[in-house]
Amino acid sequence: MKATRSTGRAIIDCDVHPYPKSVDEIRSYMQEPWKSRYRGSGRGFFDNPVHGMRLDATPPNGGGAGTDPDFVREQLLKPFGHEYAVLMPRAFCNLLPDPDYATAIAAAYNEWLADTWLGKHNADGVFKGSITIAHQDPHAAAREIERWAGHPHFVQVMTDSGARAPFGQRQYYPIYEACEKHGLPFAIHPGTDGMGINVQPSPGYPTHYIEWHTCLSLAFQAHLVSFLTEGVFERFPGFKIVLVEGGVSWLPGLMWRLDQEYKALRYEVPWMTKRPSEYLRDHVRISSQPLERPDDDGHLLQMLTMMDAEHILMFASDYPHWDFDSPKHAFPKLPDAMARRIFYENAKEFYKL
């Protein structure tokens, strides 16, 4: 492997994807009837048709990208100076119509992650994990959170942005109650929007992958507005969310629009005690990948200032995916204080690391 020079700063990477070596690895953690039924899962028909990779993450000893913890250490963590990597498995269980089957897959992924990446391959504690849930059954999801909440290396709960309803709605409250109880942020990751039972956030189904991938941020915007206007952060004052891999630059304009609407329509949402944008620093974090890069880096720096990136943005590489963002190249030159917070301090505080 070609060595990569460190960025010169400690890094907490908030989006690293581990994968099982085979379907059988997950199946071994399942009971019947789910064990015989499980054949693995994917997100469906929107898939990258080109697969040009910024980084060849194939382990030298074989296996798919993201399947070898030791190689992830050698290729990603050591060269760039990672102190922690927050792992986000891709179970894709949130698209399934059978909530019991979906919950069984989520549970198997959690057991697999705890035994492997967070267990036998984690003597130094550099890997931190996400509790996968199936939001189709919020009560079962809350029980799964309770099951793993005391684990020393699970630092958040995760689900897909694909859903049948915006996440601020009250049917999801058992999940948020469990997250708040145990101090676990709720992470939302794209991947099943418009798949299975989930609603596509655009007016209809896109024609091409480039269209689908570009518009993934639409679901994140809808979920965030729902959280705010439904009063979730007032009902659960200790509850926090992190929006992962949903883009960044849409946030300032969305908050300006929502703040403006709130001035005229606050009567409709009396539980909101302050402007929508004022909830962000206490309750919301956003990961940096994919970070939109305009031709003029000065415009990006202005946008980062507008969105209060120094306090709410956290670095993510999306390793080992095709659009991996290297810590050395993801950003233009940042002010030192902003860089420290984005690459390290925001995540350290948010996850209590």
Q: How far apart are CA 46 and CA 123, in angstroms?
A: 37
Which pTM was predicted? 0.95
pLDDT at residue 6, rounded to an integer: 46
- Stretches where the chain sits below pLDDT 50 are 1-6
How many CB atoms are located within 10 Å of the residue 258 CB? 18
Token pair for 158: 């995760």
Is the backbone peptide bond immediately before 33 cis, with ω within 30 degrees of 0? Answer: yes
**Over the stretch 78-122, which tens digit does the pLDDT of each residue have?**
999 999 999 999 999 999 999 999 999 999 999 999 999 999 999
Q: Which of 227, 106, 102 is nearest to 173 (CA)?
A: 227
**Cβ–Cβ under 8 Å, residues 311 and 304:** no
Other C-beta atoms lying within 10 Å of the C-beta of residue 257? 13
Closest CA to 53 of 334, 319, 336: 319
CB burial string 92-127: b at 16+ within 10 A, e below: bbbbbeebebbbbbbbbbbbbbbebbbeebbeeebb
Q: Specify the CATH number of the domain 11-351.
A: 3.20.20.140
Output the 3-class SS for 87-134. ECCCCCHHHCCCHHHHHHHHHHHHHHHHHHHHHHCCCCCCEEEEEECC
- Using DSSP's 3-state secondary structure scheme, residue 161 falls into coil
pLDDT of the residue at 322: 85
